[in-house]
Amino acid sequence: MASDALEDRIRQIRLRLEGRLTDLIADLDAALASAPAGAAPEGAFDLYTRLHNVSGSAGPVGLPEVGDAARALEELLTPWLKGGPALDGWREAFGGLKAAVAAGSR
Amino acid sequence: MYMHLQDRDSKQRAVRAKVVNGQLHARAAGQRVLIIEDDDIVADLLAIYVSDLGYTNVLRASTESGAVAATAEFAPDLILADVRLGEGGDGINAVRLANKKTGTALVYITSHPQLTRDESKAVTLPKADLTGDRLAQAIEAALLIRFVQ
């Protein structure tokens, strides 16, 4: 088992990540609504990077469902980043990320 | 070398890192560790884990160019590197450019382990599977690779 001090430090990192997830969801909502089937909106690379970071960091800080959902959405949005439409299923994947974030914050 | 994904049950993914296979991770003192990671959340997590292992001489870089500069100045004994550094570049490229010192142990911690397939002298740990225990095991493996080179 990990020491309480180590667990507490990881818990603090998790809280930091959870604080960022709300902003990421809101920003993705706005961006995807503005350009759901066309070229990537301004700032798409930054959004994609933030999503990619969540897909990598959520699991290690104890939110594996959020990490999995972010990774699924990230894959579907890769063409969107390159100027094309997102792949089919991105709405469901985005819904999955929202649900995972909501569940993880409880 | 690839550290395989194992169970995804977070309850079993203990974060203890000071003991590997029943032995203290005793080589840490005096060793220099460079963390190459653009995500501050993961960088902080790695810093906590290596600190828990006993490493006290730790430097961070978040870009390819920063990693090259840091490696030249810091001469790390151990590098923990992400592969994709966002707009900051490529971690593999950074290591190849920077790591001229022979015998540096190298662990990639990445969401894209397929990208390190050709890095035969490095250990790759999938980021989603990162815990203190698995990082400690990956470091042990990387040190072993360095030792037998």
Phi, psi of B55, deg, nearest 5: -75, 125
pLDDT in the model for residue B8: 42
Complex prediction ipTM: 0.83
More confident call, B91 vs B60: B60
Tell whether the model's pLDDT for residue B4 goes beyond 50: no
**What is the number of helices (H) and of strands (E) in chain B?**
4, 7
C-alpha to C-alpha distance for A27 and A47, rounded to whole angstroms: 8
Residues in A closer than 8 angstroms to B15, CB to CB, are 2, 6-7, 10
Kindly indicate the confidence band of residue A70, based on its pLDDT and cuts at 50, 70 and 90. very high
User: Per-residue pLDDT averaged across A69-77, rounded?
Assistant: 90
Output the CA–CA distances (angstroms, integers) from residue A42 to A79, A87, B59, in the order listed: 15, 19, 33
Residues in A closer than 8 angstroms to B45, CB to CB, are 10, 13, 57, 60-61
% of chain A exceeding 90 in pLDDT: 49
pLDDT in the model for residue A53: 92
More confident call, A3 vs B143: B143
**Which of B40, B127, B134 is the best mutation test for A, with the most CBs of A within 10 A?**
B127
pLDDT in the model for residue B6: 41
Task: Dump the DSSP string for A6-38.
Answer: HHHHHHHHHHHHHHHHHHHHHHHHHHHHHSSSS
pLDDT in the model for residue B95: 83
C-alpha to C-alpha distance for B110 and B3, rounded to whole angstroms: 11
pLDDT in the model for residue B87: 73
Give Rg (Cα) of chain A. 15
Look up residue A88 and give its amino acid. Answer: D
Tell whether the model's pLDDT for residue B85 goes beyond 70: yes
* CB spacing of A61 vs B129 below 8 angstroms: no
* CB spacing of A6 vs B45 below 8 angstroms: no
C-alpha to C-alpha distance for A46 and A3, rounded to whole angstroms: 36
Closest by CA position to B18, among listed B111, B146, B137: B137
The mean pLDDT of chain B is: 80
Query: How far does the CA of residue A1 sit from the closest CA of chain B (Å)?
Result: 6
Reported as a single tens digit per residue, the pLDDT across A79-92 is: 877 767 667 788 88
DSSP H/E element including B71 = helix B64-74
Kindly indicate the confidence band of residue B17, based on its pLDDT and cuts at 50, 70 and 90. very low
Residues forming a β-bridge with B19:
B24
Chain-centroid distance of CA B107 in Å reads: 4
**Which of B39, B50, B52, B109 is the best mutation test for A, with the most CBs of A within 10 A?**
B39
User: Per-residue pLDDT averaged across A76-81, rounded?
Assistant: 80
Tell whether the model's pLDDT for residue B55 goes beyond 80: yes
Kindly indicate the confidence band of residue B5, based on its pLDDT and cuts at 50, 70 and 90. very low
Would an 8 Å CB–CB cutoff place A8 in contact with chain B?
no
Is the pTM value of this prediction over 0.80?
Answer: yes
C-alpha to C-alpha distance for B59 and B76, rounded to whole angstroms: 9
Tell whether the model's pLDDT for residue A66 goes beyond 70: yes
Kindly indicate the confidence band of residue B23, based on its pLDDT and cuts at 50, 70 and 90. low
Kindly indicate the confidence band of residue B14, based on its pLDDT and cuts at 50, 70 and 90. very low
Closest by CA position to B19, among listed B145, B135, B144, B148: B135
User: Per-residue pLDDT averaged across A15-20, rounded?
Assistant: 94
C-alpha to C-alpha distance for A104 and B92, rounded to whole angstroms: 33
Output the CA–CA distances (angstroms, integers) from residue B20 to A11, B5, B53, B136, in the order listed: 23, 18, 10, 7
Question: Under a CB-based contact definition with an 8 Å cutoff, are residues B28 and B55 in contact?
Answer: yes
pLDDT in the model for residue A40: 65
Per-position b or e across A56-92, b if 16+ CB within 10 A of its CB: bbbbbbbbbbbbbbbbbbbebbeebbeeeebeeebee
| DSSP-based three-state secondary structure for B2 | strand
Tell whether the model's pLDDT for residue B20 goes beyond 90: no
